[in-house]
Amino acid sequence: MKDTLTNITESLVRFSEVDSMGIVWHGNYAKYFEDGREAFGNQFALSYLDVYHNKFFTPLVKLDFEYKSPLNYGDKMRIETTFINHEAAKIHFRYKIFNQTTGALATTGESIQVFMNLQKELIIVAPEFFVEWK
């Protein structure tokens, strides 16, 4: 069983992601976490397409952020996305975003996704493909 796996991805803060002060607008952290989830899925064969091909959706039911220090236009960031194993039918990730320009921890957070079938019914037992993946 996979207890923890981590993906590391890097990106630059783009002009379209900052506010009038040149600081990343808070709503973009959801996108950065999404970028981390997508990179994680591609690295570890748990992509959104992998889930969909197994006839499931994984909507978010929880998304939390804690801001530590700012990211500014032009900064290079490192997104660390870590899978947290549970017996329950959910996908839990923890995130750390580092400002590689300054070395500071910029943001921490977590997300939880649940499984729904293609009829959009909640699945309370972990799907077989997910159990096998773990």
Helix, coil or strand: residue 101 = coil
Q: How many domains does the chain have?
A: 1
Task: Give the domain extent around 124.
Answer: 4-133
Find the helix or strand (DSSP H, E) in which 1 lies: none
pLDDT recorded at residue 2: 56
Q: What percent of the chain has pLDDT over 70?
A: 98
CATH number for the domain spanning 70: value is 3.10.129.10
pLDDT recorded at residue 4: 75
Average pLDDT of the residues in 45-74:
96
Q: How far is CA 19 from the centre of its chain?
A: 23
- Asked if the model's pLDDT at residue 3 lies above 70, the reply is no
- Asked if the model's pLDDT at residue 46 lies above 70, the reply is yes
What is the Cβ-side half-sphere exposure of residue 79, based on CA atoms within 13 angstroms? 23
pLDDT tens sequence across 78-101: 999 999 999 999 999 999 999 999
Give DSSP secondary structure letters for 15-69: GGGB-TTSBBPTTHHHHHHHHHHHHHHHHHT--HHHHHHTTEE--EEEEEEEE-S
